[in-house]
Amino acid sequence: MSKLWGGRFAKSTDVMVEEFTSSISFDQRMYREDIAGSIAHARMLAKCGIISAGEADTIIEGLTAILAEIEAGHFSFEISLEDIHMNIEKRLTERIGAVGGKLHTARSRNDQVALDTHMYLKKEIRHIAGLIMDMQQAILDVAAKYPHTVMPGYTHLQRAQPILFSHHLLAYFFMLGRDFNRLQGVWEHTDIMPLGAGALAGTTFPIDRHYVAEQLKFSQVYENSMDAVSDRDYIMEFLSFASILMMHLSRISEEIILWSSSEFSFIELDDAHCTGSSIMPQKKNPDVAELVRGKTGRVFGHLMGILTVSKGLPLAYNKDLQEDKEGLFDAIDTLKFSLTTYASMLRDMRVNENRMRQVLRNDFSNATDMADYLVKKGLPFRQAHEVVGKAVAYCIEHNKWLMDVTLDEFKAFSELFEADILEAIKIETCVDARNSYGGTSSTQVRQELTVAQNMMNKE
């Protein structure tokens, strides 16, 4: 296929070079943005008297027909035409003749690809924001379904203090809330319109960049043409946001995987969200959670990739920048898949309330409460800690739990123990006593649920 830039070349491009430099295999997904951007550009050229209204109409009709061809699967993308921009432009002149060649007036692929990528990312940001909210809603629904379910809370993966299961889940709700806010920040820098920067320095034609921005619903226009074609900050910001979000999903994945193991047995994932083993008939594996945890790595990698690609680049456009898209697209796909599968997996999981309660019955998670009890009777905390530590050691030696100790035995450790100690170290008492703001008591968790619901209504 003859090149749109063939004029100064005497030889045709080496086939390997064509394949190596071409981006059509991945940038074809921006065809809608490319066409919408071209239509806005054509309208602007006509409005500014750079092409005639009739020419603009012919171009726009041609572009609209090409859009239909692509959507119908009738468009043949050519590697020899390098990228989505030249594939569409070439087809345009095939369809409408030489007037198609006027579309690229006052434009370069450098500002064109930047425009397409900005538009594409804006569309995906909207979509991903919705998916974050869906997952937040799934967390809220599960938390609301188990308002009184207790479980051990961990530090160092050692049982620490009893908590409400809903409190644990809601921690992820608020993480995702910050991810949502970060995404709004990414939007701000994505919502800047680069077209009209030309190759790098602007253009000799009397264009109206603000008119293009207005048509394409951008709230700002790049102030500097060189910045407009060189900037990939918005992609880095998106990938930073994506990395943090994936890190959150990876953490919850780790918990889901642990909780669904026979050792924990806190939850059971629905069959629909698990896979089996080709050799071990008994297996039911939490693959979704494992894959989300695993895919976090590639998203981190894409962030590192674009940072590294950009770090030594002189202004303005360099072909290196074509490397910005595959990582971005892959991160978008990964996020969308992960968020969608997660929301339904959480909704359908079974929570083994009895198992979590039983685990709490047989551990020392109430030791802090015992120390707090002594403090409330006047003992300095450090001494109370020591006393309870000794009581725990005694229990370990005699093979019992704090709840099995009699009042007489307790008294041997401190005279301050009275009959009410037995009530004070019951699981429900321990949970509900943590009534400080943001704590795990049922009152606080009810309040959290309200705050969370209000956030959803605002988002």
- Catalytic residue ranges: 156, 277
Q: Euclidean distance between the first and final Cα of the chain, in Å? A: 49
Candidate segments 107-115, 257-265, 393-401, 406-414, binder of ligand ARG by CB under 6 A: 107-115
CB of 230 to ligand ARG, least distance (A): 11
Residue from 38, 58, 87, 110 that binds ligand ARG (CB under 6 A)? 110
For ligand ARG, the closer CB: 44 or 321: 321
Contact between 190 and ligand ARG (CB under 6 A)? no
For ligand ARG, the closer CB: 165 or 317: 317
Binding-site size, ligand ARG (CB under 6 A): 10
For ligand ARG, the closer CB: 38 or 110: 110
For ligand ARG, the closer CB: 113 or 360: 113
Contact between 259 and ligand ARG (CB under 6 A)? no
**Distance from C-alpha of 378 to C-alpha of 399, rounded to nearest angstrom:** 30
CB of 235 to ligand ARG, least distance (A): 12
Residue from 36, 92, 103, 113 that binds ligand ARG (CB under 6 A)? 113
- With b for 16 or more beta-carbon neighbours within 10 A and e for fewer, the 70-84 pattern comes to beeeebebebbbbbb
Determine the residue type at 391.
Answer: A
For ligand ARG, the closer CB: 235 or 249: 235
Candidate segments 92-100, 106-114, 142-150, 286-294, binder of ligand ARG by CB under 6 A: 106-114
CB of 156 to ligand ARG, least distance (A): 47
Contact between 228 and ligand ARG (CB under 6 A)? no
Binding to ligand ARG by CB under 6 A, coded x per residue (else -) over 308-347, reads: ---------x-x-xx-------------------------
Helix, strand or coil, per DSSP, at residue 275: strand
Token match 């253009």: residue? 203
Contact between 23 and ligand ARG (CB under 6 A)? yes
Contact between 88 and ligand ARG (CB under 6 A)? no
Contact between 209 and ligand ARG (CB under 6 A)? no
**Distance from C-alpha of 133 to C-alpha of 332, rounded to nearest angstrom:** 16
Whether 237 and 185 have beta carbons less than 8 Å apart is answered as: yes
Helices 84-96, 109-145: crossing angle, 10 deg rounding: 120
Contact between 83 and ligand ARG (CB under 6 A)? yes
For ligand ARG, the closer CB: 13 or 137: 13
Of 73, 43, 84, 76, residue with least CA distance to 60: 43
Q: Residue 126 burial (CB < 10 Å; 0-12/13-18/19+)?
A: exposed
Contact between 109 and ligand ARG (CB under 6 A)? yes
CB of 306 to ligand ARG, least distance (A): 13
Whether 385 and 411 have beta carbons less than 8 Å apart is answered as: no
CB of 22 to ligand ARG, least distance (A): 8
Contact between 369 and ligand ARG (CB under 6 A)? no
**Distance from C-alpha of 1 to C-alpha of 22, rounded to nearest angstrom:** 13
Contact between 203 and ligand ARG (CB under 6 A)? no
Candidate segments 109-117, 185-193, 267-275, 341-349, binder of ligand ARG by CB under 6 A: 109-117
Contact between 434 and ligand ARG (CB under 6 A)? no
For ligand ARG, the closer CB: 83 or 369: 83
Q: How many CB atoms lie within 10 A of CB 419?
A: 8
Whether 234 and 186 have beta carbons less than 8 Å apart is answered as: yes
CB of 33 to ligand ARG, least distance (A): 13
**Distance from C-alpha of 381 to C-alpha of 379, rounded to nearest angstrom:** 6
For ligand ARG, the closer CB: 23 or 253: 23
Candidate segments 105-113, 152-160, 304-312, 334-342, binder of ligand ARG by CB under 6 A: 105-113
DSSP label of 20: H
CB of 7 to ligand ARG, least distance (A): 15
Tokens of 24: 């059509």
**367 CB-near residues (< 8 Å, 6+ apart):** 388, 392, 402
Whether 267 and 359 have beta carbons less than 8 Å apart is answered as: no
CB of 24 to ligand ARG, least distance (A): 8
| Extended beta strands in 297-387, E state | 350-351
Determine if the peptide bond prior to 316 is cis (ω within 30°). yes
H or E segment at 160?
Answer: strand 158-164
CB of 310 to ligand ARG, least distance (A): 13
For ligand ARG, the closer CB: 23 or 440: 23
DSSP string, 68-132: HHHHTT-----GGG-SHHHHHHHHHHHHHGGGGGGTTTT--HHHHHHHHHHHHHHHHHHHHHHHH
Tokens of 27: 């940038």
Instruction: Tell how strand 350-351 and strand 267-268 pair up.
Output: antiparallel
Interacting residues toward ligand ARG by CB under 6 A: 23, 27, 83, 109-110, 113, 317, 319, 321-322
